Structure 1
Amino acid sequence: MTASADPGPAHLGDRPGGGAHAREILALALPALGALIAEPLFLLADSAIVGHLGASPLAGLGTAAAALNTLVNVCVFLAYGTTAQVARLLGAGDRRAALARGVDGIYLAAALGLVLAAVGAAFAPALVHLLGATPAARPYAATYLRISCAGLPGMLAVLAATGLLRGLQDTRTPLLVAALAAVVNTAANWALVYPAGLGIAGSALGTVTVQCAMAAVYVAVIARAARAGGVRLRPDPAAIRRSLGANTALLLRTAALRVYLLAAVWAAGSFGTVALAAHTIATNLWLTLALALDALAIAAQALVGRDLGAGRPERVRGTVRLMVRWGAVFGVGTGIVLLAARPLYVPLFTGDTAVRAALMPVLAVAALIQPVAGVVFVLDGVLIGADDAAFLAWASVGCTAVFLAGLAVLRAAVPATSPDALTGLWWVVAAFTLARLAALAWRERADTWLRTGVGV
């Protein structure tokens, strides 16, 4: 990439040789944190509501959610790639091109959503069987997944729209939309599951409806901004194809990370219905905290992309140092809460004593990993913001290989019926997280990712 001749707009937080001021990071990270916490509340609410239907529906929800999240999160490049690309263009002073890039991303998201919805609905029973759902959980899993697939176009459009707004340094709008949607989703799901008597199908239907409503709100907001900026709203097939091509490496990165999550669900299912139900709750809590930690990563994507687009690599270095420290401290805090508050929140998710007993040691392991995860998410966001997607792709493939090797050792050493099997699985997750930390920290120490200007 070539250095930008335009240093970009001046910012309140600019300091010679330094990074972003704390208040500038917080202005992006805190609203992003609120939005990110609100989004997984959809699934946590489903877990709490469906969990009181019994262990089998809860285990079915866990398997279906893993399949659905795979279909959605393999396309998370729609948010991450868009954030980085839009932020670079904004830093280079070309807001119109930044908006156009985001509009292309939304069209791409809708097209991918339609394709994935058709595939997911058609193969729902096969997918949940492949993921190792127990016979008792399969009907619930297939029902939830089949209905939820109808919301995939809206879900992916939300990803792309959120990425555009973050790249424009706006994390407040996603916070407002996600917070309102989380409240409406909880009320709607409870009403559909219990008073309406739809069971797990009601939970899926409520979430689909709310996700599509979110997409409609985002499209309206972005269409207004595009018109004000003189940006076309009609689709440009060539630009949409370029957007997909530019994000291929991020797609590979995300696919590799999803393999580890799916393999973990499959392993938990092989340990039995109780283990799968406990793993479902632990995974939902883990992903909620991971997304909370991702608030710093999102701030990193937006700030790093903007400052590299403006040709300010020395400012990026200062920002990274500060945010890595914050990531570690935030991880310590979330770990303490996750560990100490177990007696308070576990009963909210299940009344099954066997599931509770299996869950307690797993959550202790998850709590210990949180400080490492805090740094991992920040560094991941830094490299995404720097458009270092090729390295991230290969690093993710390598770390997933570490996880699969650890899983093979676990299954060879610990019987599937052992009460320690599920806890052992989470120690393998810990090894995977440490492997990611090693790879990302090694890369961050180099300068090869500090490429300035607009070259995407």
Structure 2
Amino acid sequence: MSTATVRPFEVTHRGVLAIAIPMTLAYLSTPLVGLVDTGVIGQLGDAALIGGIALGAVIFDIVFTTMNFLRSGTTGLTAQAHGAQDRTEVDASFFRALIVAVAIGFAVLALKDVILEVALSLIGGSEAVQAATRTYYGIRVLATPFALINYVILGWLIGLNRAGLALVLQTVLNGVNIGLSLYLVLGLDYGVAGVGWASFAAEAVTAAVGFFIAFGLIERMRMPHRGVILDRGALIRMIAVNRDIMIRSFALLFAFAFFTSQSAAHGDVVLAANQVLMTLFFVGSFFLDGMATAAEQLAGRSVGARYRPAFDRSLKLTVGWGFAIGFAASLVFWIAGPAIIDAMTTNEAVRETARLYLPFAALTPLVGTLAFQMDGVFIGATWSADMRNMMLLSLALYVAIWWMLTPLLGVSGLWIALLVFLGARGLSLLWRTRARAAMAFPGGG
């Protein structure tokens, strides 16, 4: 690799935090939407309506988690073009991903009835709950193209190291959603439909704001022409990266669904207790996701710049900060866990069971730190095949540990299997980093 292609840049603690802090705030604001939606519907006093929102949210969580590659894949490809100082490719990455997002968005709309019926047949629920779900889903699904476009814009901004603008977008999205939910449900008495329309409006408004921001950053006089955007090699690469990330996302969804199903096999009390405890892990993940996003941008930029010292430095700093966050989260959960459990449920049997397995749940942020950070590195560097393979390997290990330990240790065996899964993901990716970095930076960058 010619030294002329190397574009050195400095990676500092301040630079890492400048990405991580805004993105952490953005991720933390997302759960507020669900809380407000549930809260405003709860004011109507009909349990079926709350259940309808909950079932609808599950459907959209599955759809949008599956399509998250539009965000992460765009970040990696954009960050690499940014590191290579190839402005044409930066903008082309945006338009390529946009085409895919729009195509998938309208495909979901075309299949929306099929998706709903399949989901309801699998999830179940009473007639009243399913009726509420149909109303909510039928409105919110119309926003799918806007939602996927927002994924692309968000990923593109992160790849450009514009975390502040990414935070603005998330603030608009969640702010409009919360404000309209309160107004349409409590003010205009629209019920479940009001929550659906609030989500639709929020996605549409955010897409409009996002386009305004994006086209303000794109150099109009140097816009990539159609041949560059539709370049066959670039499209194949984007599709391959997105495919691998989607498989990885499916595997992750399966891992958590498997944990839930196996918890249910031990009875309602264990299921409820484990769901309460998993909330701790998901809260911790919001903090870790911000630092993982910093790893995405900096690793991708380093690969694009062909500069190994920046890659090594970004790996060291993001993993170091990640472990500090993971340790702090685990410590908080360990100390405050009993009080959090009591605040989340009034059922004494569930409280007692949750306290029994709290030590396992408290360890999840710390044990999972390396997995979050290495995911960020591999997404940014677009080493997606390795990330997919290590995820599948870790998943197989997870099931094997569960199969061996659960007959001996019961629910504790399930928790140990989950911790092994989290740890194996991080360690296996760290193991692959040396070989991948040697290929990406021949001669040391």
Structure 2 length-normalised TM: 0.83
CA 1:181 to 1:123, structure 2 compared with 1: closer, same or farther past 3 Å? closer
Distance in 2, Cα, partners of 1:268 & 1:233: 53
Cα offset, 1:398, TM superposition = 2.2
Secondary structure of residue in 1 paired with 2:306: coil
Q: Which one of 295, 298, 320 corresponds to residue 293 of structure 2?
A: 298
User: For residues 89-104 of structure 1, what are the structure 2 equivalents within 5 Å?
Assistant: 89-104=81-96
Whether 1:164 and 2:156 are equivalent positions in the alignment is yes
Distance in 2, Cα, partners of 1:47 & 1:279: 21
CA 1:278 to 1:59, structure 2 compared with 1: closer, same or farther past 3 Å? farther
Query: What residue in structure 2 maps to residue 23 of structure 1?
Result: 14
Cα offset, 1:166, TM superposition = 1.0
Contact residue 133 and residue 266 of structure 1 kept, 8 A: no
Cα offset, 1:378, TM superposition = 0.8
- Structure 1 residues not aligned, in runs of 5+: 15-19, 415-419
Query: What residue in structure 2 maps to residue 186 of structure 1?
Result: 178
Cα offset, 1:200, TM superposition = 4.1
Cα offset, 1:199, TM superposition = 4.1
Whether 1:367 and 2:366 are equivalent positions in the alignment is no
Contact residue 88 and residue 308 of structure 1 kept, 8 A: yes
Distance in 2, Cα, partners of 1:248 & 1:437: 21
Secondary structure of residue in 1 paired with 2:111: helix
CA 1:286 to 1:64, structure 2 compared with 1: closer, same or farther past 3 Å? farther
CA 1:394 to 1:126, structure 2 compared with 1: closer, same or farther past 3 Å? same
Query: What residue in structure 1 maps to residue 329 of structure 2?
Result: 334
Cα offset, 1:443, TM superposition = 2.0
Q: Which structure carries more relative contact order (alpha carbon 8 Å, separation 6+)?
A: 1
Cα offset, 1:380, TM superposition = 1.2
Contact residue 121 and residue 147 of structure 1 kept, 8 A: no
Distance in 2, Cα, partners of 1:141 & 1:424: 35
Using the aligned pairs only, state the percent identity.
26
Structure with higher helix content = 2
Q: Which one of 102, 105, 118 corresponds to residue 97 of structure 2?
A: 105
User: For residues 36-75 of structure 1, what are the structure 2 equivalents within 5 Å?
Assistant: 36-50=27-41, 61-75=53-67
Contact residue 6 and residue 93 of structure 1 kept, 8 A: no
Query: What residue in structure 1 maps to residue 382 of structure 2?
Result: 387
After superposition, give the CA deviation of every residue in 1:284-305 in whole Å (9 maximum; x if it has no partner).
6643431321111111111111
Secondary structure of residue in 2 paired with 1:169: coil
Contact residue 398 and residue 418 of structure 2 kept, 8 A: yes
Query: What residue in structure 2 maps to residue 431 of structure 1?
Result: 420
- Structure 2 residues not aligned, in runs of 5+: none
The letter for the 2-side match of 1:317 is D
May I ask how many residue pairs the two structures share in their alignment?
438
CA 1:120 to 1:174, structure 2 compared with 1: closer, same or farther past 3 Å? same
Query: What residue in structure 1 maps to residue 4 of structure 2?
Result: 5
CA 1:447 to 1:92, structure 2 compared with 1: closer, same or farther past 3 Å? same
Distance in 2, Cα, partners of 1:402 & 1:326: 28
CA 1:413 to 1:156, structure 2 compared with 1: closer, same or farther past 3 Å? farther
Cα offset, 1:442, TM superposition = 2.2
CA 1:89 to 1:124, structure 2 compared with 1: closer, same or farther past 3 Å? same
Q: Which one of 73, 77, 91 corresponds to residue 81 of structure 1?
A: 73
Whether 1:216 and 2:208 are equivalent positions in the alignment is yes
Distance in 2, Cα, partners of 1:250 & 1:4: 31
Query: What residue in structure 1 maps to residue 239 of structure 2?
Result: 244
What RMSD, in angstroms, separates the aligned Cα atoms of the two structures? 3.7
Secondary structure of residue in 1 paired with 2:85: coil
Contact residue 287 and residue 325 of structure 2 kept, 8 A: no
